[in-house]
Structure 1
């Protein structure tokens, strides 16, 4: 399936798309109303290009139909339910039939295999378990592949280190910020992270830069691969980098059809051009989703990868539309700022952007943290002249690379909170209207 010819893949995608469209029309009142509103019938979908006739789905649609209003199967057929945290209102709820769970496990098994996982190996899973899809999604895929799976979840960092030393896994999974936290703790305990049994890392659930990849690869002596997924579409495994090329993420496009649109005009953009990712599930039974606007910015290519796979590849995420900052009229993503900071040798890879309201304008303050070596060099004096020089250096690099001027606050080692899950990069000191998606 991963090396299927383009023509054969498109035949399969169209067959599955038609089945999905029929399912939502027959079983989901929300979609039936949308179709009727657009004078659309399932038989109007006769080609993959016809997908553009279908309505978009956005996150608020899931919230408005909370909890089970978008399910296409009765609750007695649902084997598992996941949900978002609901911190900004009602959570988004997703369901899985038994077949959905089997398909998901197979997709994730393929993803782990692409990243170097092998049957009879050991995988250390530091993604959070529970309603979050990350932990259980990776867990069942790892077991499907035939790996011994360590369900450590996030947190309890010293115990994580003990199990890595004792169990000798070859693969570690988790958010890049938390795995970096594990590395920091190892070094703090006088251990060498480069001497573990780990060979491959599968990191996701947050945007991370190429500079962060280089940091993780160098400090852990591994290959670090990016995994992509979102619960509304399935969970982890929607796309994955391969260990051979690490040049874009292979989308499981026998199960998910991807489009890239201009988020303002909603029109498609050419392959290779950045825009908003839109996914349609092709095989989901419990919660089939039509043209879901992810809010994630990336591009796609349909060229064959050097690894031999023919699946559509997406670029690594540039960021999320709602994470984009507008600083004095310039659009900038946190990942672009991260790229600059990781090139400053006096800093550790932990930072936060604090946004506050100053009159009618947003004020952005960048908090960065110096490393122990620089801290000792300035004799722990945070008012030292070299701290001011470092702040100026960071400001100049941000101005040169990101075209923005940001107030920078230098913190001493350990002052910026460490993550045990997704890193909190943006702090809003008061409620500020978000950028519409």
Structure 2
């Protein structure tokens, strides 16, 4: 018999704040974390804005010597994981068996910043000056590995690398691990820190990024004048816990994860399948897995990247799956405030979905000013909506045709 799985802790580092509390407070207020680009010199780049994490000090969470042997994406993952475990009131060795605790943290790109830095050193000073920590700094699985070391989690340890669906796939796959009784607890989510010269050059040359220099207008999902996504960084972590394990210790429960659907487009390396066909199937599978009807869904945290095809095809997919109910449910893109955190996006947005249920607040899509006649759903423009949310869905779609949908329900 499959186990029920609840969320008992959350942690995040985002452009909106270095804690989940600060991030959520800014989200419901409709504040933006997008600002002028500072992590690289933007003079030679068309892109001028980004969603950067600000005033983050890894020494607040990690031994300084060890922190120097890690990339920024790993710093974020450890910080968010420690916050989430503290939020859940869990500690291996006290009230938690390390062998029954796993980690599944995805990253789309990993430590590309460290790879670029070491490659420059290689070209300037030769191979002997390359750090011996280069490989373990930049491989994407190292965030998950380092978190397990820091927290003593000896259960299943894994990393999903599915581009912008990495965080959502990691949570969904971790859900299956707890659901099937393999572990009692999974530390799950996504992390990314790829605001680098090569990343921005590559995305810009494929015309994926917004070149709007105005931070208040660059990320505008579902708006007719959208011109691309805004690159961002951060991490989001959920503590997924088997229900009876949580009950036995009197844990505070945010909500329940009840459905997961994952599909492949088999269509194109970057463009989603027409009409969001793969996304349609992911949503249908997640609803079927959750044993929930379309009429029961109150809110969808959309992938909503602010690119032409994503916003069009995701809207078409929602209409196809939900029929007339598509016009009654709320759909919003929090990327309008965070920017696109790539492999961390799905995890942070899953947290927003569960908080929408717990707090009765649906985050807005900010910077929405000009309606697109093809995009006619209720995108919660510019200010949050206070309302009861029983069921929320979060969509994540990645390059390579990866689609992941998570369904959360109010815990009763």
TM-score (norm 1): 0.25
Question: Higher strand share goes to which structure?
Answer: 1
Q: Which has the larger radius of gyration?
A: 1
Question: Higher helix share goes to which structure?
Answer: 2
Higher relative contact order (CA 8 A, sep 6+): 2
